Amino acid sequence: IACALSWIDTKFLSDIKLDEFLPVGREVAGVVLEIRNKVSSFQPHDEVVGILPVDSEECGLSAATLCDGVCVYTGLHYLSYVSTGKTLLVMHGESPFGTIAIQLAQHRGAKVIATVYSLEDKQYLQRLTPSVARIIDESNGKYDLTEICLEETGGLGVDLILDAGVKSHNKEDKVASQELLPHKHDIITLLSVGGHWVTMEENLHLDPPYPPDSLCLFLKVWNLSNMQQGKYLCTLEDIMEKLSSGIFRPLLDEPIPLYEANVSMEIVQKNQARKKTVVQLFLR
């Protein structure tokens, strides 16, 4: 049995007064033991997956690709439909989210440009098949992201951008946590006419600056609505089909023993984990 450790948005949970309990392993997997009268979609012995609700005080065994897959589908399918002939820029392409985004975009025929911040991460993306059209290693500051993207698109710009956060401050006002992030003006510059920018920056400041409105937009995600549960279930089903057929291949570290889980979770929570961390559990 294994359980993947995923980053927890402690600020969000604190804002909605749910920070008393912080269970980990919210991506769950298991086998149906029994069903009740109103259950029609499942049978005993079916293998199932799911994501625990945000107010759950329980943790569970993990399906490592599920949360990243839902995030990717939200960005590439519902917020902006990626298809053949489109060009996609994935920031931090080596991350678990970035890896799934690259694979889904390529599966749909899009051209992918990805950024990385170390030689090791670049070498990892070079091993993906099909290969990424362009990998930009920004670790040494030698490359201009805007210039390369415009070069790759004949000066037209990128059709779709998935970022991992952006700098909202002026370049001279550096914030330590934003050192490896692109500036918002650079993102806007390299975006094509009619293109889509899907951001993970919850406090994005645009002119005129209305941070409360930006935060509201961040929280108004379709999968938080009860009216969108059908789309959500279809997304989960499609993610698992692609996982079982090998289209999605999660990026995992070697399993660690249970006694190392606390240290590993600290690394995950600091957002320093390049791969999904899996804790190996032994049952007697």
Q: What is the pLDDT along the chain (284 residues), one digit of tens a residue?
A: 566 777 777 787 788 777 776 777 778 888 888 998 888 889 999 988 888 777 777 776 667 788 889 889 999 998 888 999 999 999 999 998 999 999 999 999 999 999 999 999 999 999 998 999 999 998 877 778 999 999 999 998 999 999 988 887 655 555 555 567 888 888 888 888 878 899 988 777 766 555 555 565 466 555 555 656 787 888 889 999 999 999 998 888 888 888 888 888 888 888 777 778 888 877 65
Is 129 inside a domain boundary? yes
Asked whether residue 83 falls in the same domain as residue 209, the answer is yes
Q: Does some domain include residue 88? A: yes
53 and 87 inside one domain: no
Within-domain flag for 243? no
273 & 152 share domain: no
Domains held by the chain: number: 2
State how far the Cα of 138 lies from the Cα of 116, in Å rounded to an integer. Answer: 6
Q: What is the pTM of this model?
A: 0.71
Domain boundary among 189, 215, 241: 215
Please check whether residue 232 lies inside any domain of the structure. no
Alpha carbons 159 and 192: distance in angstroms, whole number: 5
First-to-last alpha carbon distance for the chain, in angstroms, is 12
Q: How far is CA 152 from the centre of its chain?
A: 24
Give a yes or no: residue 226 inside a domain: no
Q: What's the CA gap between 14 and 51, in Å, rounded?
A: 20
Buried b / exposed e along 135-154 (16+ C-beta atoms within 10 A): bbbbeeeeeebbebbbebbe
Domain that holds residue 21: 2-64+250-280
Of 151, 231, 162, 229, which Cα lies nearest the Cα of 200? 162
Q: Do residues 57 and 82 share a domain?
A: no
Residue 186 shares a structural domain with residue 112: yes
Distance CA 74, CA 81 (A): 10
Closest C-alpha among 178, 182, 223, 255 to residue 67: 223
Spatial contact of 160 and 76, defined as CB atoms under 8 Å apart = yes
